[in-house]
Structure 1
Amino acid sequence: MRLLFITSNRLGDAVLSTSVLRHYVETYPGVRVTVACGPVAAPIFQAVPNLDRIIEMPKQKRGGHWWKLWKSVVLNWWDVIVDLRGSATAYVLPGSKRVVLKGNDDSLHRVEQLGELLNVSPPPFPKVWIDEASRERANALLPQTERPLLVVGPTSNWVGKTWHPERFVEAISTLTAKGGVLDGAHVLIVGAPNERDMAEDVINSVPEDRRSEIFGTESLLTVMACLERADLYIGNDSGLMHMAAASGCPTLGLFGPSRDEHYRPYAKWGRAIRTDWSFDKIIENRTSRFSQENLMETLPVEKVVKAAAELVSEYRLSGKNHD
């Protein structure tokens, strides 16, 4: 059986789409997989079981990326073609079955919408497969101690949904302080290659002997391997947040000017906490749609720390069961 899986350019959406891929991989053992996606998302698919190849689709003028994809796969017969980008490509390729996502249903979480597309309820949790080399690299990067591991994603691709750095600093300090739920934890701070400057105050707030950082210096699968060791991930609504949830670690996503009902961390130990203001109220009160203001003002530190402590405690009482 051969599967062509066409998914997103964006990292977060690509991670969520692995719910669909997981369904096929686990339902049809031995299925041969070809993934087509954007260059940023491509690395998360490198350890997919029975992977034949990954076709990167950098955007080109006049839809040239779709023409390039068609040329690269048209000579193959596909038992299943999944197109989560709603293009016409699935209909002009030779195959037996076509599964095409046509727009978003705003009454559902995006993963639940994918489950409806497959007629599978409940949908599988997203999953990013990790190879042993990435786990070995993670072990080399992180201290081999009994101390808990807190991973923090203090950045995002839009200032509007980026929680204030000083609030991250206070939350980390409270959670890792003596008597805190993550007393003495090692802190790993993660972000995209161009986001380190944005996170510098958060990085510098943690003593050097208790911190590590990854800002584009390691593969995404190594980041995944670090995340699966975490006792807690706290971060803004971002692709890294969805990676954390897919790793199985307790994940607390911080939401304001984005809809948690559509994009909350979708996992057994995924939780969302949002600003005291609703999404609609935030959007109504922003200066303009083009403003570069921070829109996370009504999310206090105390609210985040309380939710984080409750999540970690619940996870520990469960016996730290990722599944």
Structure 2
Amino acid sequence: MRILFIGNSRIGDFILSSGLLAHLIETYRDARITVVCGKIIVPLLAHTPNIERVIVLEKRKHHRHWLDLWLMTVGTRWDLVIDLRNSAVSRLLRAGQVRRVERVRGKRLHRVEEIGRVLRLDPPPDPRLWPGDTDRAAAADLIPDGPPVLALGPGSTHEHKRWPSDRFAELAVRLTGPGGILPGGRVAVIGSPAERAQAEPVLAAVDPARRIDLMSNTPLLTAAACLQRCALYIGNDGGQMHLSAAAGIPTLGLFGPTPAHHYRPWGERSDYVQAPEPFEGLEARIPEAMKAGVSLMTGITVDAVEAAARRLYLKVAPTESPRIGEPASAVLGSGMDIDGKPGTM
């Protein structure tokens, strides 16, 4: 059986669709699967079973990347094509079945639910990650055994989606201080080097003996394994938030000008805090905010995030704060290697 899976190019969107990919792998165990995705996604597939080929879709002028994809796939007779991009390519291939994302009017569906409807799966499959033994070993070096770890993601590609760094810093002090949900806990600040400026105030607020600086080019699956060693993650809406939720740890996402009902972290161990202003109003202000380089997340208070974090942690966490040494329970898989250079946060 030959399956073509046309996926997303952004980390968060691809992670939200990974449960559907896992469903295909487990349902059609002898299938040969070709995955189409962005270059940054390739490392997430490094240990995914049954992947015969990964096609990197690099954006070109005049949408010529879709022509490139058609030329690379038109010579194959596909049994099933899953097109999460609703592209013209899937309409022009020889295929037994073609399944695309359907927009449902009048329903506020989560993206995972939309994707599940592609194969009429209800409930939809949870996002899935496939870290390898080398990723887990690297994570154990980066986050050694010891007191529980609060993971924070203060960065974001766009300023308007960033909760202020000084509030992340205050939150870290509250949650790991006396009376906090993780008293005496360590604080891991996770992100890319490009987000270093947002991380510095948070790192500076934590005792050097308790802080873990992961603001580096950490491979994606190693970052997932690191998150799996943490007790709680709190961060802005983005790919790292979805990586944390897929790793199975309690995850709290912070939302402003994006719809939380559609992109909140998925799963029973996740929750979110939405800015008090309706996101539609904030969304309309995005062009202005991008031009001015300002955040649209200032309506969220530290008190609100602390309260939400406490509710979530007490709902899903052990009665005693765990010490690091055993990975958190998660929806994780294992599989064989494919070629691909490590991707990074």
> Which bracket does the TM-score occupy, shorter chain normalised?
over 0.9
The structural deviation recorded for 1:205 is 1.9
Deviation at 1:188, TM superposition (A): 1.6
Sequence identity percentage: 38
Aligned to 2:44: 44
Answer whether contact 1:35 1:45 (CA < 8 A) is retained. Answer: no
- Structure 1 residues not aligned, in runs of 5+: none
Greater Cα shift, 6-15 or 73-82: 73-82
Q: Deviations over 1:97-125 (max 9, x none)?
A: 11122557662111111122221111011
**Structure 1, 24-33 or 256-265: larger mean CA deviation:** 24-33
Distance 1:50 1:212 in 2: 36
Query: Partner of 2:297 in structure 1?
Result: 296
Q: Is this contact kept in 2: 1:186–1:210, CA < 8 A?
A: yes
Corresponding residue for residue 266 of structure 1: 266
Corresponding residue of 1:6 = 6
**Matching of residue 56 in structure 1 with residue 39 in structure 2:** no
Q: Which amino acid aligns with 1:142?
A: I
The equivalent of 1:181 in structure 2 is: 181
Q: RCO (CA 8 Å, sep 6+): is it higher in 1 or 2? A: 2
Q: Tell me the residue number matched to 1:113.
A: 114
Matched residue SS, 1:41: helix
Correspondence for 2:75:
75
- Structure 2 residue 206 is the aligned partner of structure 1 residue 206: yes
- Residue deviations 1:119-166, cap 9 Å, x none? 111101111211111111111111122x11211110111111100111
Q: Tell me how far apart the structure 2 counterparts of residues 128 and 157 of structure 1 sit (CA, whole Å).
A: 23
| Per-residue deviation, residues 221-270 of structure 1 (Å, max 9, x unmatched) | 10011112221000000110011111111000001111101100011211
Name the structure 1 match of 2:149.
Answer: 149
CA drift of 1:322 comes to 4.0
* 2:160/2:286 contact within 8 Å kept: no
What does residue 101 of structure 1 align with? 101
How many residues are paired up? 322
- For 2:38 and 2:285, the matched residues in 1 are separated by 34
Q: Which residue of 2 aligns with 1:65?
A: 65
Tell me what 1:192 maps to: 192
Change (3 A) 1:62 1:249: same
1:219 corresponds to which letter in structure 2? P
Contact (CA 8 Å) 1:248, 1:268: kept in 2 or not? no
Counterpart of 2:301, as a letter, is P
Deviation at 1:318, TM superposition (A): 8.5
Q: Which amino acid aligns with 1:73?
A: T
Letter in 2 for 1:36: V
Letter in 2 for 1:56: V
3-state SS, counterpart of residue 174 of structure 1: helix
1:209, distance to aligned residue in structure 2 (A): 2.4
Distance 1:141 1:281, change over 3 A: same
Report if the CA contact (8 A) 2:102-2:114 is conserved: no
Contact 1:160 1:294 in 2 (8 A): yes
| 1:263–1:104 Cα change, 3 Å | farther
Report what 1:313 is aligned to. Answer: 314
**Cα distance in 2, alignment partners of residues 30 and 268 from structure 1:** 32
- Residue in structure 2 matched with residue 170 of structure 1 by the alignment: 170
Cα offsets for 1:7-65 (capped at 9, x unmatched): 11111111111122122122223432221111122222222112222211110112222
Give the secondary structure class of the aligned counterpart of 1:212. Answer: strand
> Could you tell me which amino acid in structure 1 is paired with residue 242 of structure 2?
H
**In the alignment, what sits opposite 1:21?**
21
Partner of 2:226: 226
Letter in 2 for 1:166: D
2:324 is aligned to none
Q: Is the 8 A contact 2:258 2:283 kept in 1?
A: no
Alpha-carbon RMSD: 2.2
TM-score (norm 2): 0.87
**Contact 2:101 2:117 (C-alpha < 8 Å) held by counterparts:** no
Q: Which moved more, 1:296-305 or 1:16-25?
A: 16-25
TM superposition shift of 1:198: 2.5
Shift of 1:74: 2.9
Q: Secondary structure at the match of 2:317?
A: helix
Q: Which amino acid aligns with 2:68?
A: K
Q: Cα deviations across residues 265-292 of structure 1 (Å, max 9, x unaligned)?
A: 0112111111222213434677936442
